[in-house]
Every structure is written in C-alpha cells, then in structure tokens.
C-alpha cells in the first residue's frame, strides 16, 4: 500500500467481491446460453436445471449441416462486412468534410444525418419492402446491404466527425504550407489519427448489421436469410428446441466477440476520447 493510500484491506476486499459479482452477473447469461447448447432437449428442459450433464455437440451438428445455419452465417458475414466497409468508405470522407470545411447547408445536412437514426425501423418496413420488390431485389444480399447503410452510415459520420474535430487544425495548416492537398492530409494524416473513432464506428456498424432481424425477416426468403432470421425460425408453436436455439445464438455471438477483441485497443481509446484534456 502506498503512502497516503487510506483504502483499508476490508474496503479493498469488498470492492473485489463486488467486482466479481458484477462480472458473474454479466457472464452468467453467456454461460447459460453455451451450456444449454451442449445439452440434449430432455436435459435442457429439466426442472430444476441440471448443472452437471453429458456434453453433446449434436445441436451444433444439426444447425450447421441440417438447418442451413452455416449458410446463414456466411450471409450475415457477407452483409455485415460489406455494410461496414461501404459505410466507412463513404462516411469517413463525409465526416472529415463536416469537421473541417464550412459550406452552405452544413448544419441542415448534419441534422439530417442524425435524425435518420430517430426513425423507427418498423415505419420503414413496408416502404422498403415495396421498393425492393419493385426493383427485383427481394432475397438478395445487395438489398440488405443498401438498407443497412441507411442506419449505419449516420453512425459512422456522427462518431468520425467528432473524432476529426478533436484533431488540431494546426496540423492541417502545417501540411497545407508544405504543399499537401486536402485529400493527402485526410488520407495520410487525419485517418491514422482518427483510428480510435473509426474503430468504434466500425464495431457499431458491424454489430448493428450482424444482429439486425426485422428487415432480414421481411426482405429475405432462402438465399439471403441471415443467422438471426434462421434462429427465429426454430420457434414454431409449442415446439421450442432450446438446444438448437442456444447453439445458433452462440454461433451468432462468437464472431462479434472476436471482432471486438481484435479491435479492443482502438475501441478503448475511441470510447474514452475527449475524456482527458
């Protein structure tokens, strides 16, 4: 214990116990999901719950090779990655322009981007369905990618604009004096400095695209059906195959966790940007 530290051992122990309880509370649903996915239907329905059981991977085999969950995971991956890439490609230059330049209608354009997230998706379901059907894009990846862009692009612009604003303008001015163009400044200087905010927006865009359910149910049938839509299809009347549902849920959650862990360093920096002056 350092000099001046007044934290008593009892207080420190209480903090550790409280932290452990919070971690257990947060991780228990994930444990329950994974453990249920490793049970057969009889054990999963036992009351009280069976805490010890024979592990089976039959649920994973069934959902991956019999129920087309593997194909739906590939569809979700294609749609989520494509949406995230396009949203970043279009959103970061727009965010840089909003952060650095003054032009007529800038405030109105910024307000329009933000208000796109205020519209309830259920209000847009029928109009989007009619538009997609008339264009002949029902049950295609491109339909979901374009629609997901409508609510992911504002997120990227919102987060990245604040990130670019936090970069001192003096850096741009110094680069302009050295003969660099605005595009060169954006690509070589501002993008690397804005990496934390870009990482945060990429993670949010990926998660929102990966987890989206309503439009996937309305606009897909077989070819482009995503993993969340497949998971819902298991629930038919009184037949609830808990093992298959939990196995599918686990397969849906794992890629998001892996993606977040890969970008965790930038994610922490991005979430805390502006916290310390």
- pLDDT tens for the chain, 277 residues long, are 455 555 677 788 888 889 999 999 988 888 888 888 888 888 887 778 878 888 888 888 888 888 788 888 899 999 999 999 999 999 999 999 888 888 888 888 888 877 877 777 888 888 899 999 999 999 899 999 999 998 899 889 988 888 888 888 888 888 888 888 888 888 888 888 888 888 888 888 988 899 888 899 889 888 888 988 888 877 766 677 888 888 888 888 888 888 777 766 666 655 555 444 4
Is residue 8 one of the residues assigned to a domain? no
Is residue 19 one of the residues assigned to a domain? no
Is residue 102 one of the residues assigned to a domain? yes
Q: How far apart are CA 203 and CA 156, in angstroms?
A: 10
Is residue 26 one of the residues assigned to a domain? no
pTM score, two decimals? 0.81
Is residue 176 one of the residues assigned to a domain? yes
Task: Find the domain containing 109 and state its range.
Answer: 60-271
- Are 39 and 50 spatial neighbours (Cβ–Cβ below 8 Å)? yes
The CATH number that applies at residue 108 is: 1.10.3720.10
Structure tokens at 5: 């530290």
Is residue 106 one of the residues assigned to a domain? yes
Is residue 9 one of the residues assigned to a domain? no
Q: How far apart are CA 229 and CA 211, in angstroms?
A: 9
Among 268, 231, 225, 271, which residue's Cα sits nearest to residue 248? 231
Is residue 123 one of the residues assigned to a domain? yes
Structure tokens at 138: 């029902």
Q: How many domains in the chain?
A: 1
Q: How far apart are CA 116 and CA 10, in angstroms?
A: 50
């Amino acid at each position: 214990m350092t000099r001046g530290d007044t934290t008593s051992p009892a207080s420190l122990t209480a903090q550790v116990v409280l932290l452990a309880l919070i971690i257990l509370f947060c991780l228990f649903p994930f444990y329950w999901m994974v453990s249920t996915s490793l049970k057969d239907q009889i054990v999963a329905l036992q009351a009280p719950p069976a805490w010890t059981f024979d592990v089976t991977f039959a649920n994973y085999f069934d959902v991956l090779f019999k129920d087309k969950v593997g194909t739906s995971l590939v569809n979700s991956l294609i749609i989520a990655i494509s949406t995230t890439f396009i949203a970043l490609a279009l959103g970061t230059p727009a965010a840089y322009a909003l952060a650095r330049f003054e032009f007529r209608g800038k405030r109105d354009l910024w307000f329009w981007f933000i208000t796109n997230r205020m519209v309830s998706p259920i209000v847009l379901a029928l109009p989007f369905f009619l538009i997609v059907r008339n264009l002949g894009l029902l049950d295609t990846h491109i339909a979901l990618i374009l629609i997901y862009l409508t609510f992911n692009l504002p997120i990227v612009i919102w987060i990245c604009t604040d990130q670019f604003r936090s970069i001192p303008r003096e850096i741009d001015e110094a680069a302009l004096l050295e003969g660099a163009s605005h595009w060169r400044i954006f690509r070589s200087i501002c993008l690397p400095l804005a990496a934390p905010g870009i990482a945060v927006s990429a993670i949010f865009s990926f998660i929102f695209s990966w987890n989206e359910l309503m439009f996937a149910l309305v606009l897909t049938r077989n070819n482009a059906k995503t993993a969340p839509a497949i998971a819902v299809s298991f629930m038919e009347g009184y037949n609830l195959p808990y093992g298959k549902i939990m196995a599918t849920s686990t397969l849906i959650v794992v890629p998001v966790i892996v993606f977040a862990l890969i970008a965790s360093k930038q994610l922490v920096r991005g979430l805390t940007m502006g916290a310390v002056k």
